[in-house]
């Protein structure tokens, strides 16, 4: 019983960890565009340049 519970728990943890890396939906209702940025940490507080061509983030 304990062994099967351990196996099931391990599989659930593995499954949820794999779901974290799942790609986001391409077609969102709000027509938002997904930015793929290769930086570690948390990117927050986006700010656009006046001409709208650049964006900067606060990174933690």
What range does the domain containing 43 cover?
2-59
The domain total for the chain is: 1
Instruction: Determine the Cα–Cα distance for residues 58 and 24; give it in Å rounded to an integer.
Output: 22
Instruction: Determine the Cα–Cα distance for residues 48 and 45; give it in Å rounded to an integer.
Output: 10
The neighbouring-strand residues paired with 59 are 43
Name the nearest CA neighbour of 43 among 52, 34, 51. 34
Residue 17's alpha-carbon distances to 4, 7, 29, 43, 54, in angstroms, are 20, 15, 26, 21, 33
pLDDT digits (tens, 9 = 90+) for 6-57: 777 777 776 665 555 455 556 677 777 777 778 888 888 989 999 988 989 8
Predicted local distance difference test score (pLDDT) of residue 50 = 93
The structure's pTM equals: 0.37
């Amino acid at each position: 019983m304990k062994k099967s519970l351990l196996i099931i728990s391990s599989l659930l943890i593995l499954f949820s960890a794999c779901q974290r890396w799942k790609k986001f939906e391409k077609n969102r209702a709000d027509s938002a565009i997904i930015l793929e940025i290769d930086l570690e940490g948390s990117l927050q507080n986006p700010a656009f340049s006046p001409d709208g061509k650049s964006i900067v983030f606060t990174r933690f």
